[in-house]
Amino acid sequence: MKSLLCSASLFALIFAPAYAQEQKQPDQATQQEQTQPQTQVEPEGMIVLSEWRYDPLYASGWSVDQAFDEATVAGENGDEIGDIENIVFDRDGNAVALIAEVGGFWDIGDTHVSIPWDQVQISEDAARFTVPVTEENADDFAAAGDRSVLREGETGQVSTVDDDLATGPNLFKATDIIGDTAFLNNAERYGYLNDIIVNDGKLAAVVADTRAYGRGYYAYPYTGPTAWRDPARYTLPYGAEDVAVLQVFDYSQMQRKGATDARTQDAGTTSSTQPMPEAETDTQTPQ
């Protein structure tokens, strides 16, 4: 018995330090990981700005902000029936529905209608959006009842919605992004997002208005919902050196535009490339 106890004690003396060392290793690894400098995680498929070109946007893209301000909604007979209120996208940036305010021309009161994107026809200059809503069938749409939340599976049908429409977890509205404050990936305040460029039915770019910082308009590839996890905040996945190579986005070169936009008048007043952003960081801790 005594021999067995001695053997057990010897076993403990030999292996206890090794076991303790093994137990500490995860903590040491965790501590070492915590002391490593944190690096910005780049979104999957992020486009390098030195390889980013505006040419496709100029050739066939159109401005959502301009559509809000100037475009008209027409019925299939060509008559003007309303205005664009919003555009709904899925998380991949695909346009899925047009929110239009119709009815005022028919003396039936303003009605907000969600129209599936594949039923919307856009004119060559993106100044007219034709939809399958008429005075005769407007009551049928109204019979669906107003909805305050639009969900992903409901975008394929025409129906009325609330004017203050909310979207489900897999959808967002253009106005959820437009007006957000833009930040660089190191939390430097950069400007605000004044526009979205849609190309071939997809959200192709967001436009940052940085004129308050002595620069101009710059278009960036849409990188997905990770850029705007926080309300009213859009974080570009780029640093100051990255954005410095970008050219000014010239609205006057867009082929699909309606009436003359005030933005085209000062599009060329800034330098072709932007100066390095001044270090102005957000006072809030980035999420």
CATH fit for domain 49-62+174-265, picks 2.40.30.170, 2.30.30.240, 3.90.420.10, 3.40.50.300? 2.30.30.240
- Say whether pLDDT at 20 is over 70: no
Q: Average of pLDDT values for 129-133? A: 92
64-172, which class in CATH?
mainly beta
Q: Is the pLDDT of residue 27 over 70?
A: no
Q: In the prediction, which pLDDT does 287 show? A: 42
CATH 2.30.30.240 boundaries in the chain = 49-62+174-265, 64-172
Region 241-259 average pLDDT: 89
pLDDT at 22 over 80: no
- Mean pLDDT estimate for the chain: 73
Burial code of 272-281, b = ≥16 C-beta within 10 A, e = fewer? eebeebeeee
pLDDT at 278: 52
160-163 long-range contacts, Cβ below 8 Å, gap at least 24? 160/111, 160/112, 160/113, 160/114, 161/99, 161/112, 161/113, 161/114, 162/112, 163/85, 163/101, 163/110, 163/112
* pLDDT of 98 above 80: yes
The most confident of the ranges 108-112, 220-224, 225-229, 260-264 is 220-224
